[in-house]
Amino acid sequence: MAGLKFDMTLLDERGEQRPLLDVWERPRCVVAFLRHFGCPFAKQHAEKMRDLSERYEKFCEEAQVPEDERATFVNIGIGYAWQIPHFRNETNWKHQLYVVPDAYDTTGGPYGLFRMQEGRDHVITEEVTKPGGLYEQAVKAGHSDGGYGTDNGPKDGKYTGNIHQIGGNFILGPGNVCDYAYRSKCAGDFGNLDELYEVLTGFTAKGEPVFSKSAQQQSELMNMTSKQTSDTAECPFLTGRVPAAA
């Protein structure tokens, strides 16, 4: 797949294109790649990112971080542009929200660029479907299934887009910098958001300085123009090409 080109654009709720790289060109940015809008896990993921953003905003207020130095939060989902306002209202998301240009060929856009997992085997797993598993937990927590269908969508129009695509979380920017990368292993897996918070702020949720490897990486990254972290072989975000296998 080396050298493969990807669609490097996003769509806002007006259907207008925005270059992917512009999202984190200047501010540091927490970027969450969600599942398709009709999935309970997409709604649960958005809720968790909302809670994280509120924790971060509280930290910034208490630490008196200047507004222009604060990270921004972005959710990228799978659906149509006209579905964005409904998803925003349902999840009470006040930050940036985009969809990929092609809801069905997700691997040809940002999800493929960031090497997110895709396939039925990542969605229909024992961890997801077993009694008391991730799906049942999400629904019991109030995250409904469906609600974003189209006449030609999968599951008799209940959903829109690639129902086998899963996502992940990243801390990107400013520019071609990746401080944190987590790719979901299955639907409903959002990683350790406390760890993401620590990398983002340098402090634990209890306000204690972090001396873990992730915090050391963050400290190093603050003094460098570009750095690879996690399992990213290289930062591909300026080239739009698949990084070479590690």
Could you please report the per-residue DSSP string of 176-231? Answer: S-EEEEEE-SSTT----HHHHHHHHHSB-TTSPBP-SHHHHHHHHHTT-S----TT
Cβ atoms of 205 and 197 within 8 Å: the answer is yes
pLDDT for the residue numbered 216: 54
* pTM score, whole prediction: 0.84
Could you please report the per-residue DSSP string of 164-189? Answer: TB--EEEEE-SSS-EEEEEE-SSTT-
Residue 20 or residue 153, greater confidence? 20
Rounded Cα–Cα distance for residues 112 and 20 (Å): 13
* pLDDT tens digits for range 126-169: 999 999 999 999 999 999 888 887 765 555 567 889 999 999 99
* pLDDT tens digits for range 183-212: 999 999 999 999 999 999 999 888 888 865
pLDDT for the residue numbered 224: 44
> CA nearest 34: which of 22, 23, 42, 24?
42
Residue 140 or residue 4, greater confidence? 140
Question: Could you tell me if residue 196 is left (phi over 0), alpha (psi between -120 and 50 degrees) or otherwise beta?
Answer: alpha
pLDDT for the residue numbered 237: 46
